[in-house]
Amino acid sequence: MHEFDQESEELIQSVFRYTLDRIRNEPPLDGPMSAAELQALVGETVTPEGLGGPEALRRYTEHLAPASISADHPRYLAFIAGAPTKAAAVFDLVIGASSLCGSTWLDGAGMVFAENQALRWIADLAGMPDSAGGCFATGGTMANLSALVTARHDADAKRTAAGLDRPARWAMVAAESAHSSVDSAARVMDVDVVLARVDDDRRLRGDAVAEAIAGRPDGTEVFAVVATAGTTNLGIVDALDGIADACAAAGVWMHVDGAYGGAAMAAPSVRHRFIGVEHCDSLVVDPHKWLFSPFDCAALLYRNPAIARDAHTQRAGYLEPIIDDTVWNPCDYAHVLTRRARGMPFWFSLAVHGTDAYRDAIEGTLEVTLATREMVAAADHLELIVEPELSVVAFRRRGWGLADYQAWCDRLLAEGMALLTPTTVDGGPAMRVCIINPRTTVDDLAEILASLA
Ligand SMILES: *Cc1c(COP(=O)(O)O)cnc(C)c1O
C-alpha cells in the first residue's frame, strides 16, 4: 500500500483519465436508483481483500456515478445548482492529493494566504472594512451557524460587561423567507426566532425589524437580525440599508445571508440591490453556488474577526502552540478544527480567470434569467409569480396542481431532459428555476417551458 509501484501509477493515471473526460465532456444528468437496485448492480465493495483499483473504479464509473445527478448539467435548474469552472474542479484534486490541512497558519500558511485574498475579493464586493476577515466553511448552513454563535457570544459579553444577567431567552429576528438553516441554527443554539413580517414585495425591511425587536416576548433579548441577500425560493434581496439602520438603532448584530445571492454583488446590473450590505457584522456567500466552485465551499466574513476568534477558538494542551493571534488561523473563525482548504479551488479559478470573468459570467446568467422571465410572461398558459431580482424565475402553469407539476418534473428527469422540482409560494404549488450555470442557454429554457404547454 505504501510503495509507489506500477499498480499505483496505473491507478492514478486511470483516475486522471476519468477526471479529464468528466471535466471535458458534457456532464450527464442521470438520476437516483433505489438502494436495492444499486445493491444488485454494485454488490459488496468493502471486502477484506479489496477489489483492486480497476474494479473499484469500474463500479464507480459504471454504476455509482450514474446514480448521482451532476449539478453542473446546464439543465439542472432545481434547488441551486453548482457549476464549477474547469480550473476550480481540477484544483480540488490537488488539494485532496496534497494532504494540506487548512486549519492554521503553521500548517497551511500558503493556502491561508491565498484563501484570504479570495475572501478579500468578496469583502471588497460588499464594501466591508479592511479589518474584515473570516474563513471558508463547508456551506451556508455551517457558516450561518458559526456567524450566529459569534453574534450571541458578542451580545452575551456585552451584557456581562454591563453587569446584566443573562436574559431568560436569546432570540434572533428573521423573516419567514430566511433559509431553513437559520431555523436549524436556532435549534442547535437553543435560541428563539422572532419572526418579522415582509412587505408586499416579500422583502424584509427596517421598520419590520424594529417592530419585531420591540415586540419580542418579555425576558427575551435579541442578539442578531438575519437579513437574506437573495432568498433561496424567490431570489428576493431584503432591504439591507434600512435593516442596517434598525440594527444600529437597537445595537443588534446584523448578519447577511448571501449564501445564494451574494455572488451577484459582482454584477453591476444588480449591485444596487445590495446597498447597505457594507454595514453587516457578518456575511455568508457560497462559492459552491453562484461563484463556480466545487462543493463544498462557503465564505464567512466578519466585520470584526476578533469577536469570532473569541467565540470559536478551541483550547487544549496540544493546541496551545498554535493559539496565536498574530497569525491567521482559519479554524478560529468557524465551528471547525481540522479543515480542508476548501477555498483553494475557488482561489485558483479566480487567480486563473480574473474577477472580470466572474462578473461577466454572473451577468450572463442574469441575462438568461431575464429572457426566461420574458418567455414566461409571454406564454398564455404560464403566470409569472414575482419579478426576478436575481436569477430565480418562479411561475405557475395555469390549471395545474402539485401532482401535475411533480409528474412533469418526473418525466423531464426520466427523459434525461432537465432537473426541476416544484416549490411552494403563498401556500400553493409553483415552479421555480434557478439559473447559475453560464452554460445554461435561453434555448434550454425555451425547450423546457415549451414542454409545459
Ligand atoms: C443554500 C442556502 C443556505 C445553505 O447553504 P448550504 O451551503 O446548502 O449549507 C443558506 N442560506 C441561503 C440563503 C441559501 O440559499
Q: Which atom of ligand 1 is nearest to the CA of 258?
A: 13
User: Could you tell me the end-to-end alpha-carbon distance of the chain, in angstroms, rounded to an integer?
Assistant: 58
List Cβ<8 Å contacts ≥24 apart for 312-321.
312/146, 312/149, 312/150, 321/106
In the reported structure, the alpha carbon of residue 188 is separated from the centroid of ligand 1 by a whole-number distance in angstroms of 16
In the reported structure, the alpha carbon of residue 140 is separated from the centroid of ligand 1 by a whole-number distance in angstroms of 4
Q: Are strands 392-397 and 282-285 parallel, antiparallel or unpaired?
A: unpaired
In the reported structure, the alpha carbon of residue 165 is separated from the centroid of ligand 1 by a whole-number distance in angstroms of 34
- Quote the cell numbers at residue 100: 494540506
Cis peptide before 238 (omega within 30 of 0): no
Q: How many Å apart are CA 122 and CA 263, to the nearest integer?
A: 8
In the reported structure, the alpha carbon of residue 171 is separated from the centroid of ligand 1 by a whole-number distance in angstroms of 20
Mutate to test the pocket of ligand 1, among 172, 179, 291, 392 (most ligand atoms within 8 A of CB): 179
| Domains of the chain, first to last | 94-353 (3.40.640.10), 355-450 (3.90.1150.10)
SS3 category, 83: coil
In the reported structure, the alpha carbon of residue 319 is separated from the centroid of ligand 1 by a whole-number distance in angstroms of 31
Q: How many Å apart are CA 61 and CA 143, to the nearest integer?
A: 33
Taking 50 as the pLDDT cut, the residues of the chain under it are none
Q: Report the interhelical angle of 206-214 vs 240-250 (nearest 10°).
A: 30
pLDDT score at 210: 98
Q: Which residue, 345, 251, 333, is CA-closest to 294? A: 345
pLDDT score at 325: 80
In the reported structure, the alpha carbon of residue 10 is separated from the centroid of ligand 1 by a whole-number distance in angstroms of 39
Residue nearest to atom 5 of ligand 1 (CA): 140
pLDDT score at 318: 85
Q: Are strands 192-196 and 220-228 parallel, antiparallel or unpaired?
A: unpaired
Q: What is the largest CA-CA distance in the chain?
A: 71
pLDDT score at 225: 99
* 427 DSSP assignment: T
Q: How many Å apart are CA 412 and CA 387, to the nearest integer?
A: 25
The ligand 1 site (C-beta within 6 Å) comprises: 80, 139-141, 144, 179, 181, 228, 232, 257, 259-260, 286, 298
Mutate to test the pocket of ligand 1, among 283, 284, 286 (most ligand atoms within 8 A of CB): 286
Radius of gyration of the chain (CA): 23
Q: How many Å apart are CA 389 and CA 236, to the nearest integer?
A: 6
Q: Which atom of ligand 1 is nearest to the CA of 260?
A: 15
Exposure string (b/e) for 258-285, b if CB count within 10 Å is 16 or more?
bbbbbbbbbbeebeebbebbbbbbbbbb
In the reported structure, the alpha carbon of residue 6 is separated from the centroid of ligand 1 by a whole-number distance in angstroms of 44
Residue nearest to atom 7 of ligand 1 (CA): 139
- The secondary structure of the chain in percent helix, strand, coil, rounded to multiples of 5, reads 50, 15, 35
* 62 DSSP assignment: I
Q: 416: alpha, beta or left, given left = phi > 0 and alpha = psi -120 to 50? A: left
Q: Which residue, 363, 378, 388, 84, is CA-closest to 233? A: 388
At 265, phi and psi to the nearest 5? -60, -20
Helical (H) or strand (E) element with 423: strand 422-425
* Beta sheet of 169-175, edge-to-edge order: 133-137, 298-302, 282-285, 253-257, 220-228, 169-175, 192-196
Exposure string (b/e) for 19-31, b if CB count within 10 Å is 16 or more?
eeebbeeebebbe
**Contacts for 388 with CB less than 8 Å, ≥ 6 apart:** 235, 369, 370, 372, 373
**Residue 374 to residues 63, 250, 350, 377, 378, Cα–Cα distance (Å):** 40, 42, 32, 5, 6
Sign of CA dihedral 250, 333, 238, 195: negative
In the reported structure, the alpha carbon of residue 179 is separated from the centroid of ligand 1 by a whole-number distance in angstroms of 7
In the reported structure, the alpha carbon of residue 135 is separated from the centroid of ligand 1 by a whole-number distance in angstroms of 16
In the reported structure, the alpha carbon of residue 16 is separated from the centroid of ligand 1 by a whole-number distance in angstroms of 31
At 157, phi and psi to the nearest 5? -65, -40
Mutate to test the pocket of ligand 1, among 142, 181, 231, 436 (most ligand atoms within 8 A of CB): 181
pLDDT score at 2: 65
At 416, phi and psi to the nearest 5? 70, 20
Mutate to test the pocket of ligand 1, among 202, 232, 390 (most ligand atoms within 8 A of CB): 232
Q: Which atom of ligand 1 is nearest to the CA of 141?
A: 9
